[in-house]
A and B are shown apart, each in its own frame.
Chain A
């Protein structure tokens, strides 16, 4: 099956710092989503991004589907950004199955 690898696995930032999270996938995909799972376990949609670049406030994402990777940028990080960030891909097969990556655990300290 498809492999979805995220890096780094863990990241500690000082409040105000910037960071880049990476998602690599092993096969062609129909689409890609980025999620933030907060400390209470809620998965929050960040981006639905098959290709190109999108921005939402301090967050932006870029997907290069032909090279099988996506990047999530967090600028001016805040303590509320802490949690786990997942990318998830829609497989390019008959069933539209969402496969999650390994996750990046982010801790932003004040």
Chain B
């Protein structure tokens, strides 16, 4: 069984440029999460989807971040415009349902904003 797939793995952009990250969850997993991990810290939740509905986006900086999960499968996280402080690893995870099931993480996208 394939794990969570993310692309790109690395991205270097200049500040004020837009950037997008893509995630394909484990087949059959209805719940999808986006996390941000700053250097030396644990991941922090940005947004959680149940199928195509965003049910927890309280930590998403909505002035510059947006996300979508069309058709309840793949998801895209976008930053526009990027700021220096957005440099981090962006992790996608999925789980089978909205209970306390195990979350499985993708390899992440390392973003560097110059």
Using a CB–CB cutoff of 8 Å, the interface residues on chain A facing chain B are 30-31, 33, 35, 40-43, 45, 48, 50, 86, 88, 90, 95-98, 100-103
Chain B nearest CB from A49 CB (Å) reads: 10
Q: A42-B105, A43-B91, A43-B105 are in contact. Are A102 and B42 (CB under 8 A)?
A: yes
A33 and B102 contact, CB distance less than 8 A: yes
Besides the known contacts A86-B43, A98-B103, A103-B41, 7 further A-B residue pairs in the complex with CB atoms under 8 A apart: A30-B100, A33-B102, A41-B108, A95-B56, A96-B98, A97-B56, A100-B43
Ordered by A's residue number, 20 sampled pairs between the chains whose C-beta atoms are within 8 Å are A30-B100, A31-B100, A33-B102, A35-B105, A41-B89, A41-B110, A42-B105, A42-B107, A42-B108, A45-B103, A45-B105, A50-B100, A88-B42, A95-B48, A95-B55, A95-B56, A98-B103, A100-B42, A100-B43, A102-B42
